Amino acid sequence: MLLIECPYCGPRAEIEFSYGGEAHIDRPGPEVSEEEWASFLYLRENTKGVLAERWRHAHGCGRFFNALRDTRTDEFKAFYEMGEKRPDAEKKEGEGA
Amino acid sequence: MVEITEGCVLSRLPASTRLILQGRQPALQAACGALGVETVPEMLCTAEGAGGHALRVGPFELALQPTGDGLAPLEAALASVPHSLVEVSNRNVSYTLQGWQAADILAALCPLDFSLAAFPVGMATRSILDKAGALIWRTADQTFHIEVWRSFAPYVEGQLHEVAKSISYNILTVQH
Amino acid sequence: MSKTFRLSGYGRVDRSRPVTFLFDGKPVKGYAGDTVASALLADGRHLMGRSFKYHRPRGPVSAGSDEPNALIGVGEGARHTPNLRATQVEVHEGLVAISQNRLPSLRFDVGIVNTLASPFLPAGFYYKTFMWPHGFWDKVYEPLIRRASGLGKAPTAPDPDEYGLHYAHCDVLVAGAGPAGLAAALAAGKTGVRVILCDENPEFGGALLSDSHSLIDGVAAAQWVARTVAELEKLPNVQLLTRCSAFNYGPHNMVALNQRLTDHLASAPVGMPRERIWQVRAKEVVLAAGSLERPLVFEGNDRPGILLASAARTYLQRYGVLCGRKAVVMTADDAAYRVAIEMAEAGLKIVAVADLRANPDSAVVAEARARGIKVLPSTTIQRAHGHYRVGAVELAPVSADGAVGKGRTVSCDLVLMSGGFTPSLHLHCQARGALTYDDKLGVYLPGDSVEHVRSAGSCRGVYALDAVLRDGAEAGLNAAGGEGDLPVWTVTRQDQPGEGGFAGALPRRGPGHLALAFVDFQNDVTAKDVKLAVREGFQSIEHVKRYTTTGMATDQGKSSNVNALAIVSKTLQRAPQKVGLTTYRPPYTPVTFGAFASHARGDQFDPLRLAPADGWARAHGAVFEDVGLWRRARYFPRAGEDMLAAVTRECRMVRKTAGIFDASTLGKIEVVGPDAAEFMNRFYINGWTKLGVGKCRYGLVCRDNGFVYDDGVVGRVAKDRFHVTTTTGGAAGVLNMMEDYLQTEWADLDVWLTSITEEWGVIALQGPKAREILAPLVDGLDISAEAMPHMFLKEGTIGGIPMRLFRVSFTGELGYEINVPSGRMREVWDRVWAAGQPHGLTPYGTESMHVLRAEKGYLIVGQETDGTATPGDVGCGWAISKIKPDFIGKKALALPALNAPDRLQMVGVLTDDPHYVLEEGMQLVAAPQMQAPASADGHITSSYFSPALNRSIAIAMVKGGRSRMGATLYAPRLDAAAVRVTLVDPVFYDPEGARVNG
């Protein structure tokens, strides 16, 4: 069971959380092209390496937040609040081929 | 009130007012003020004022347990601040679990660390008790205040009894 | 010669406590502290089981959890546990154990014919043989294979025992309490951090308990163990767990331990759990899992009486049992010499120590020679003879180039083998640790891991006792943070590990096409199977594993993996590190299912959520159904009524007078804040700005892909407060989705969400008499048709109890949903019920609710919709706001594909035969006789007998259905002619909607 560090409540066991998929996917307005909309709906990176993803502390404070997790090892590199930028330092490191 | 294992008592508390206040810092501040709590408690901390308890269960959320005519002063204090105040007195069923094995019993159902260092007196948080969500608040070294949603209450009571049956045997005691 | 093999003056068993147990129905004597294996060996019995595939006679090869052969069933009836290792099962008075996989008896087993057939059962036999004909798999091959395979039999009755599961937290978890583990626990414990030390054995000490040679700080190893354990027991921050296996290393240092509490007891205290799983979250983990001696692979190496040398030493030093009278030692390693010396001292005749190496010359070899033990360098075992027990071996010379010469056969009743020691890497690998191949030791060692884990002692290739203790202490101290005193011990009289070791198949004379030299004893995989797999083109070790099944048995390759790897490596002529090792999977040793279930069993398996009127419904004879975790009343049969009769009566009464229904399980969310209306506008497809306070509206939620997600009535309680309802099953999902958009897309909005599903109990009062029944109860609130039309909402009290009264209908009749605090709903229910009696008020359940809404053509999300239906598809296109700049699903709903005329659309369906009720899920096709495969025009989503119409009705999703009213389609059946149906408007009853406004 993963140990996930909620930015508000601290480290907690995975069963308190629900997964929210890849992070930093901005929802476009209805004015975008159909291709852009399809991409927003359906296209994800499927990263092998450090992935920015969303979690919700569903059985805790209820807040959504972001995490950087290496999908090869499950190692978390960072936890940060919604609206914050992806921490740059980790962006390159460990990104798979 | 029932002794679920030697030295550990589970008590269902009588219904009383429970409110969920949500809002930004000024709303939390105003609500605390109405309860006579000077500063908004930090995350997972609780505070008691003349008007009741405030439990900081979320960054934008307080679980309030006002005493007496708690609701009116709260509404007055919050009138000019954007907020949401919702009564959940009936949604939540409250218990206390008290006794030297209380932490051990909770540790069978909840992945939190109940050592006093990790979960000190006065800490409150939402978590889970096996398959039910729960609010867990340590009110004394060996006393926990627990709230669960009404329909989960029989299940949670059942689980606590089930766990308590075997708690005396070769248990790793939660260390303080 | 004495009949017993038990020696006085040896062992740690309690001679003052003799124990009798049953093995295959016959009494066996032992002592407290014995295992089933040691007690049987004390009787001179090695034969304890039959092998998996060839049914070969087998005896124990080890003395611990790595045992692949001596698997037994323990206990009777529902308490029977199959496939336990006899080398670990502790005896107690009255224990009942049986051998397995034999018919009719252990000694005479008809399955042995498989051995004769072994030339025809090569690797991949099943894959090659049972391929064709296709249809044979289910009916012939699989049942046959299932009957022939497997070892023990699982009990069929429910497990009567109790089990526990607990979470625990510590700073340092030490897995394994041999010398390294004890040293680590002590070093860590003395710093004051929280330490848990666990070991799978009944007592701590590991290999030290079998070591009568080494001295630590001047005392015997076992004495040092006792002293150290006593010291650990005094530390309040250290918790000690015996009979407790670390079996799974999960992500982020969550290690699962399985503690066995009662199996070793003749009678356990009432209520004591049989086993308990500890889910330990450790900041740091020290793996002190030790190493496992490798068997040697030669023809007949599975004959009973052929053991690992270290196992024989354990039987002698821990249990006081000599495993035979006359032994040949076959080794490639120095450690076996110490065993030979000790065994000879204990009275065993050592025929010879055959050493694969040309020049064994360490101190312990010299000591053996000096004691008159014959050492044969450059010697191998060509073959072992015997059936139920090894009787002789052929010792043959090996030349420098590996050629094996003609040997001589010597008689013996015991062969002690040692191929060197394999570090136990299972937990390290489960921790996603890398492995590095050590050329010098010829084994894999633990490398880096992403987890906070370190290995200590022989599980990382450190073998000399003084080095193991130092390694353990350093690991423990470092795991504890590094601050503190490092305990130091002085070891005297220790054997140095020396060079050597061997992996793979021993050299042999001749090709050995028919030789059964076992690599994986438990799965009966031989050296030639592994070689054959490679010859047939399997080069990846993972493929060889699956093709041959080597390493896939319950022992997870503890004894076999390195030998298999070496054979593959040699056959491929590729270095072992290029071949790699297969994945070790949890559990390290098998765990009882009951332990995983623990307290989640029976009534406590899942929460059973009871609605507020559940007690009333039970008292009134309701039949219930589970809806998610909720238990809901389905119908209320009267004497002699079946479901159809009860539902028909309930529906008629609702339409004629009134019905009462517990709707409390509906999800409810309070949306509050100055931006509440704006939030609702963005979230729902409907518009909310114009909804006045005190009014309700049916709302539909789509996902951004444009498909219907949930629906429900929403009431505006105040300008800044909406009372939202969702479906029963959608409650948590809708709230999560709301929070998602609110927190991540629209964080600027001042609006907040609170689940009030359980705050408000909901009594649905439906039917033409509803107002008449309710009006006198609501404390003067004006609920007349004028004051409170359909889709209005009023706050008030009912008998002094706060109430949110919705005038809404899911039946098509005049109706109310009376929301009252859930803790007081029963009072209100009783009052309404009493008031309704003169009017014929009838309770109804979910089944009638479904029929009543189907008669009105109201959809149920999840029944009519399947995640690909748009609002337009289900006839709710009217709900889509045309003026909102955006809402969830707006973009997708404008896409041409989601507006195509041939989409599946919701329609009503009538059968020609008014008594025939279609099956939900039936397909609809264009012609009565169509050849498969045919594409369907649609399918039935809801189907009932309608009491109002006195005929069957159905709802279907049909391609372009709305433009095909009156069309004829057919619902094919397997066993009869297709049913002819006509497409109609889905509103079957009161299409003008007059009744709801009554």
End-of-domain residue from the set C844, C870, C887: C844
B61, B122: one domain: no
Radius of gyration of chain A (CA): 14
Please count the CA atoms within 13 angstroms of the CA of A84 that sit on its side-chain side.
17
Q: Which tokens in the block code for residue C743?
A: 């927190």
B106, B121: one domain: yes
- Contact between C298 and C382 under an 8 Å Cβ cutoff? The reply is yes
pLDDT higher than 90, residue C413? yes
Provide the mean pLDDT of chain C.
Answer: 94
Distance CA A97, CA C988 (A): 60
pLDDT for position B175: 52
- Look at C152 and C19; give whichever has higher pLDDT: C19
- Look at C497 and C686; give whichever has higher pLDDT: C686
**Three-state secondary structure call for residue C368:** helix
Q: Angle, to 10 degrees, between the axis of helix C527-535 and the axis of helix C561-572? A: 40
B6, B26: one domain: no
Number of domains in chain B: 2
Tell me how far CA of residue C348 lies from CA of C46, C63, C411, C791, in angstroms: 16, 18, 14, 95
Query: Could you say which residues from 33 to 52 on chain B have a Cβ atom under 8 Å away from some Cβ of chain A?
Result: 43-44
Distance CA A42, CA C994 (A): 45
Mean pLDDT within C151-171? 91
C266, C135: one domain: no
Please count the CA atoms within 13 angstroms of the CA of C889 that sit on its side-chain side.
26
* Residue C787, in any domain of the structure: yes
Q: Out of C432, C747, C891, whose CB is closest to A82?
A: C747
Domain that holds residue B149: 2-14+91-165
Q: Which tokens in the block code for residue C217?
A: 């700080």
pLDDT for position B176: 47
Mean pLDDT within C281-302? 97
pLDDT higher than 50, residue C359? yes
The reply to whether residue B90 touches residue C269, judged by beta carbons under 8 angstroms, is no
C169, C137: one domain: no
pLDDT for position C76: 93
pLDDT for position C150: 56
B132, B74: one domain: no
Q: What sign has the CA pseudo-torsion C919, C925, C929, C934?
A: negative
pLDDT higher than 80, residue C486? yes
Nearest to B134 by CA among A60, C284, C551, A70: A60
C194, C142: one domain: no
Q: Which of A56-60, C115-119, C311-315, C575-579 has the lowest mean pLDDT?
A: C115-119
Q: Where are the beta strands (DSSP E) in C780-841?
A: 793-798, 801-806, 815-821
Amino acid identity, position C808: V
DSSP codes joined into one string, C448-481:
EESSSEEE-GGGGT--SHHHHHHHHHHHHHHHTT
pLDDT band for position C500 (50/70/90)?
Answer: confident
Query: Which segments of chain B have a pLDDT < 70?
Result: 70, 169-176
Distance CA C648, CA C645 (A): 5
pLDDT tens digits along A50-73: 999 999 999 999 999 999 999 999
CB count within 10 Å of CB C932 equals 5
- Look at B48 and C271; give whichever has higher pLDDT: B48
pLDDT tens digits along C843-878: 999 999 999 999 999 999 999 999 999 999 999 999
Q: Out of A15, A16, A61, whose CB is closest to B57?
A: A61
Tell me how far CA of residue C864 lies from CA of C769, C836, C947, C957, in angstroms: 30, 34, 21, 7
pLDDT for position C130: 55
* Residue C502, in any domain of the structure: no
**Three-state secondary structure call for residue C124:** coil
pLDDT for position B72: 87
Residue of chain A nearest B56, judged by CA positions: A61
Asked if C750 has any chain B CB less than 8 Å from its own CB, the reply is: yes
Asked if C673 has any chain B CB less than 8 Å from its own CB, the reply is: yes
pLDDT for position C103: 67
Nearest to C627 by CA among C608, C601, C613, C642: C608
* Residue B172, in any domain of the structure: no
Task: Specify the pairing of strand C254-260 against strand C244-250.
Answer: antiparallel
Radius of gyration of chain C (CA): 38
* Residue C349, in any domain of the structure: yes
pLDDT for position C649: 98
pLDDT higher than 70, residue C502? yes
C517, C451: one domain: no
In chain C, residues with a C-beta closer than 8 Å to the C-beta of B57 are: none
In chain B, residues with a C-beta closer than 8 Å to the C-beta of A10 are: 44
pLDDT tens digits along B32-58: 999 999 999 999 999 999 999 999 999
Backbone angles phi, psi at B123, to 5 degrees: -80, 140
- Contact between C101 and C52 under an 8 Å Cβ cutoff? The reply is yes
pLDDT tens digits along C588-646: 999 999 999 998 999 999 999 999 999 999 999 999 999 999 999 999 999 999 999 99
Residue of chain B nearest C608, judged by CA positions: B155
B35, B96: one domain: no
* Residue B103, in any domain of the structure: yes
**Three-state secondary structure call for residue C782:** coil
pLDDT for position B167: 80
Q: Which tokens in the block code for residue B146?
A: 């627990």
Amino acid identity, position C96: V
pLDDT tens digits along C867-922: 999 999 999 999 999 999 999 999 999 999 999 999 999 999 999 999 999 999 99
The reply to whether residue C740 touches residue A74, judged by beta carbons under 8 angstroms, is no
In chain C, residues with a C-beta closer than 8 Å to the C-beta of A18 are: 736
End-of-domain residue from the set C457, C492, C527: C492
pLDDT higher than 70, residue C148? no
* Residue B112, in any domain of the structure: yes
Q: Out of B43, B112, B127, whose CB is closest to A8?
A: B43
C115, C132: one domain: yes
pLDDT higher than 60, residue C414? yes
The reply to whether residue B58 touches residue A16, judged by beta carbons under 8 angstroms, is no
C309, C219: one domain: no
Mean pLDDT within C250-268? 95
Q: What is the DSSP letter of C925?
A: B
pLDDT higher than 80, residue C141? no
End-of-domain residue from the set C799, C822, C844: C844
- Contact between C656 and C836 under an 8 Å Cβ cutoff? The reply is no
Number of domains in chain C: 6
The reply to whether residue A13 touches residue B111, judged by beta carbons under 8 angstroms, is yes
* Residue C713, in any domain of the structure: yes
Query: Could you say which residues from 480 to 499 on chain C have a Cβ atom under 8 Å away from some Cβ of chain B?
Result: none
In chain A, residues with a C-beta closer than 8 Å to the C-beta of C897 are: none
C744, C659: one domain: yes
pLDDT for position C324: 97
Distance CA B109, CA B129 (A): 5
C407, C259: one domain: no
B46, B10: one domain: no
pLDDT higher than 80, residue C679? yes
Nearest to C595 by CA among C289, C214, C916, C161: C161
Task: Specify the pairing of strand C923-924 against strand C938-946.
Answer: antiparallel
Q: What is the DSSP letter of B123?
A: B
Q: Which tokens in the block code for residue C198?
A: 């666990």
Mean pLDDT within C970-991? 95
% of chain C at pLDDT higher than 70: 95
Domain that holds residue C758: 651-844
C151, C180: one domain: no
% of chain C at pLDDT higher than 90: 87
* Residue B161, in any domain of the structure: yes
- Contact between C432 and C411 under an 8 Å Cβ cutoff? The reply is no
Nearest to C592 by CA among C279, C245, C275, C269: C275
Q: Out of A37, A56, A82, whose CB is closest to C891?
A: A37
The reply to whether residue B165 touches residue C162, judged by beta carbons under 8 angstroms, is yes
Domains by residue range for chain A, with CATH: 19-26+44-89 (3.30.2270.10)
pLDDT for position C139: 62
Paired with B46 in beta bridges are: B55
C3, C135: one domain: yes
Mean pLDDT within C353-371? 96
- Contact between C387 and C360 under an 8 Å Cβ cutoff? The reply is no
Q: What sign has the CA pseudo-torsion C90, C95, C99, C100?
A: negative
Strand order in the sheet with B132-140: B2-5, B8-12, B92-99, B143-149, B132-140, B124-129
Residue of chain C nearest B174, judged by CA positions: C168
Mean pLDDT within C331-353? 97
pLDDT for position C1: 44
pLDDT for position A94: 47
